[in-house]
Chains A and B, each alone.
Chain A
Amino acid sequence: MSAHRPALLRTTLPVLTAFLAFVVTAWLSGNFLPPRELPSAIREKLAHLATHGDAYDVLFVGSSRIQNHIIPRLFDQLAASADQPIQSFNAGIPSMHAPEVDWFLEQILARPHARLRWVFVEADYFPTQLQEDQQGTLRGVAWHDWPRFQQLCQRLLIMKKGVGWRDQVGDTFERLRDFLQHLAAFGTRATHLGRGTQLFDRWRLALPPDSLNPEKLGPNRDGWLGANLDENDSSARLAQVLATRKASPPKPQQADRASQAALAKLLTKITRAGAVPIIVIPPRARANYFIPSPENASRAAAVIDLCDPRRHPELYDLENRIDLSHLNLQGAEIFTRLLAERFRQIAPSASPPR
């Protein structure tokens, strides 16, 4: 046994030394290299907020269901007509879920936001899988920092309950795959993989920095972009699902504790920034939908739940939708009006102290 110990030490010590040298070099590289460029759409919205952030009272944060469904210009008009002169900006980004949305909000709040009073956040599940369109992309890498990676690890450790052993095994392997995907993205970010090549190529080929595309801010330059009609579902199938949903409405689900914890983090950040959070639940046509826990609901000024076909049947009409999750322009206008109406009721009572 004693003979093994020095041999083990002889191997372990150099491995630890190499790892330490690797980490220190990575840390130093991170401090010396210019920051990575931000992914498209996120770059434009953050650049806009960096210069115009102080002008906005209201922000909308979430996925495409926020970006496509809330028209700030209409929202502002409706608020103004109710003697609430405000200026709002839609910071929704397609496919942005927890914990990416947490990172994005952090970026927004790091930019000027002197007038910010209300932040609408979308309540959504915390997915475990790194979406296919984010794997190996600038966007996938951008938000995989240590705090988000920790959140992901916590989420991945929550296993499905009440399922058979076969599903349990399948679930474990899925989690493992998801973990490796996130680990790869985190590793890419932490080690600055390929940054030298990018900077060297930029210098060698005299490439200009990625320019800002104003189109990404939408036609009104307020962050709103209508849903992409190319992604329209076949109307027969969509009509069938919508009819089913009207007959049996989606069931609210508090889901897992990681999803609630992620939402709680968002709400805390908003409150700390001196704004009031308002939770929005957009209309989806799935069997279940995510709702905040009572604790999270109490942290927000209100929970605007529009995912109920009985109360808002118009949001489940075929002529107002393009697919199971998204509304078309007409639907977006209805959605914005409903939101503005609720806001009128909430705003006077929920103004943050200035």
Chain B
Amino acid sequence: MLFVEFRFFIFFLVVFAVHWALRGNTARKVWLLACGHFFYACFFIGDPVEFCGLLRDGDFAKMPDGWWFPAVLWGSTIMDYIVGRGLGAAQSERARKVWLLVSLAVNLGVLCYFKYFNFFVTSAGAFLDWFGLHTSVSTLSILLPYGVSFYTFQSMSYSIDVYRRRLEPVRSFLDLAFFISFFPQLVAGPIVRAMTFLPQVFEKRVWASVDVRGCCTLFFIGFVKKACVSEFAASIADAFFANPGNYTHLSAMLGVIFYAVQIYCDFSGYSDMAIASARLLGYELTPNFDFPYFSKSITEFWRRWHISLSTWLRDYLYISLGGNRGSKLFTYRNLLLTMLLGGLWHGASWTFVIWGGMHGIALIFHREWLRFTENAGASFKKVVAWLAVPLTFYWICLTWIFFRAAPLLDEKAGTVKTTSLEMAQRILGAFTGFGKNGKQAFGLECVIILAVLVLIHWLNSRRVFSTAWRRLPDWAAAALLGIGTELAILFVPVKYKAFIYFQF
């Protein structure tokens, strides 16, 4: 059930109406907990009516693959609840550490099993082969439960915060279960911390505090980003990434830039819709994006891109590794490790590790650059300020190539014709102009559309639209939203691609 699908609107309408119709806070939480699990189950069970029929008949053989994945979510929640209680009751530091280790081991174990088992096994096999120790590696047929990377990080944030004594362990299992399974952020974030969300759970939400107009506007923006812009950008990017060598240098650059547009609009659009849906239910989620492509450095980029993940990695990984409380080399090691693991979090592939590594190196380079240009003249700094945004964006585009590169499959033989790394190399060659380029080109309309998108985005970053929007009376804003929604519907694809971050 995607946020842009018709069935989500029906689902949300029912959830919203019942939520505000219920009087008690506990009743509302129970309702939202049930809705969260239903929402999550919808990704795996197919047609709910048919699934109930199969369940009633006990016909487990006919059930869709992964129908039991919601049990993993329950398991993770129960375990973290027990860990939280254990941490609260533990008398010694040693016991607290043991409880925390249990939480980390189980959460990371679940993540490793579902996401990284085959990756580690095949990588180890290749590594041994490299040393001349030939092994026959067998992988498991494992499906990845949607959102596992997101909800395990959320669960871990609870255990770690309770361990760090920043948060009291929750007494009610309902509160924790509700926090982890709150559907707007369940499958693709933003990664909400227990510390910021749980206090909201304890208090009854008040309808009067909901900014309906703001929420509808934000949802509409998210919808347009995902359904119209991202899907259009995907059609250009997909064409290029499938045959990178066929395109001219300029079109190759356009293909990669459109991928940058696609992934930004896809993920930030999802986040906008998630935040808006949560706000309509009275809950506040962490903001996730802040015009990241206008960043003047990679450091700034990571303060503006996937904010909930970057701050999570900073607070729970980078700082745990020692942060910058040591020598320069020690800090750089921590930075690189954090980014490498951040890359690996996105997917079990070496291309993601390289993507993380490129960002880590860029972060280190930026720190050094700041030190190097500390005493530079004002005119030099002015020139650099002008070049900073395009240079940062160019580097980000280079990293996206590794992020997007997918293996080329021989569908008939069921084998890999070209690996992700080889594909990335080809794309990199076409993008930089140092590799093979062809004669195929995207039309001028693509350039015009890109220019219009950049202009709108820039004006939006200058708050031009939001200021004008706030001045409008409610009726005019409502009418414009109605007109805008219909116009947006005209430009959506009939079949959507799943959100990119669902796979993580």
Contact = CB atoms under 8 A, between A and B. Distances in A.
Interface of A: 7, 10-11, 13-15, 17-23, 25-26, 29, 33, 136, 170, 173-174, 177, 180, 183-184, 187-188, 191-198, 200-201, 204
5 contacts: A21-B480, A26-B486, A29-B486, A29-B487, A197-B231
Interface string B70-102: 000000000000000000000000000000000
Contacts of A17: 475, 478-479, 482
A204 B239 CA distance: 14
A322 B235 CA distance: 43
B377 interface: no
B49 A14 contact: no
Q: Which 3 pairs show the lowest CB-CB distances between chains A and B?
A: A21-B482, A196-B490, A14-B478
B482 A19 contact: yes
Interface string B465-504: 0000000001101111111011101111111000000000
A18 B481 contact: yes
Contacts of A195: 490
Contacts of A25: 482-483, 486-487
B213 interface: yes
Nearest to B235: A201
B482 A194 contact: no
A192 B485 CA distance: 12
Given A22-B486, A177-B49, A136 B493 contact: no
Given A29-B486, A192-B489, A197-B491, A173 B49 contact: yes
Contacts of B491: 194, 196-197, 200
A29 B490 contact: yes
A200 B483 CA distance: 19
B478 A184 contact: no
B482 A18 contact: yes
Contact of A15 (B7, B53, B478): B478
B494 A194 contact: yes
Given A25-B486, A193-B489, A194-B490, A18 B445 contact: no
B52 interface: yes
B6 interface: yes
Nearest to B11: A180
A136 B445 contact: no
A14 B493 contact: no
Interface in B1-19: 6-7, 10
Contacts of B6: 183-184, 187-188
Nearest to B479: A21
A20 B482 contact: yes
B208 interface: yes
B409 interface: no
Given A17-B478, A204-B445, A22 B494 contact: no
A94 B480 CA distance: 43
B499 to A, nearest CB: 18
B486 A174 contact: no
A22 B49 contact: no
B454 interface: no
Nearest to A15: B478
Given A200-B491, A204-B445, A191 B486 contact: yes
A196 B213 CA distance: 27
Interface residues on B, range: 35 or more
Given A17-B482, A184-B6, A192-B490, 7 more contacts: A13-B474, A13-B475, A14-B213, A17-B478, A18-B216, A33-B490, A177-B47
A17 B475 CA distance: 6
Given A21-B480, A177-B47, A204-B445, A194 B7 contact: no
Nearest to A11: B212
A177 B7 CA distance: 10
Given A173-B49, A180-B10, A194-B492, A22 B483 contact: yes
Given A21-B483, A29-B486, A14 B477 contact: yes
A132 to B, nearest CB: 10
A193 B133 CA distance: 57
A198 B489 CA distance: 12
A225 B208 CA distance: 64
Contacts of B493: 194, 197
A21 to B, nearest CB: 3
A14 B475 contact: yes
Contacts of A15: 478
B478 A21 contact: yes
Contacts of B474: 10, 13-14
Given A19-B482, A173-B49, A191 B489 contact: yes
B196 to A, nearest CB: 28
B401 to A, nearest CB: 25
B470 to A, nearest CB: 15
A90 to B, nearest CB: 30
B54 to A, nearest CB: 12
Contacts of B492: 193-194, 197
Nearest to B220: A18
Interface string B42-81: 0000011100110000000000000000000000000000
Interface string B187-227: 00000000000000000000010001100100000000000
B443 interface: yes
B346 to A, nearest CB: 29
A13 to B, nearest CB: 7
Interface string B256-288: 000000000000000000000000000000000
Nearest to B212: A11
Contact of A174 (B49, B216, B478, B490): B49
B483, B486, B487 — most chain A CB neighbours (10 Å) = B486
A183 B5 CA distance: 13
A195 B235 CA distance: 16
Nearest to B232: A197
B220 to A, nearest CB: 10
Given A14-B475, A180-B7, A204-B443, A136 B490 contact: no
Nearest to B473: A14
A194 B493 CA distance: 5
Given A17-B475, A180-B7, A22 B490 contact: no
A173 to B, nearest CB: 5
Contacts of B235: 201
A314 B475 CA distance: 70
A28 B7 CA distance: 25
A184 B445 contact: no
Contacts of B216: 18
A3 to B, nearest CB: 11
A193 B495 CA distance: 10
Given A7-B208, A184-B7, A193 B478 contact: no
Residue among A15, A33, A197 with most chain B CB within 10 A: A197
Nearest to A7: B208
A207 B10 CA distance: 35
Interface string B417-447: 0000000000000000000000000010100
Contacts of A180: 7, 10
A131 to B, nearest CB: 14
A200 B228 CA distance: 12
Contacts of A194: 489-494
Contact of A170 (B53, B443, B477, B495): B53
A306 to B, nearest CB: 34
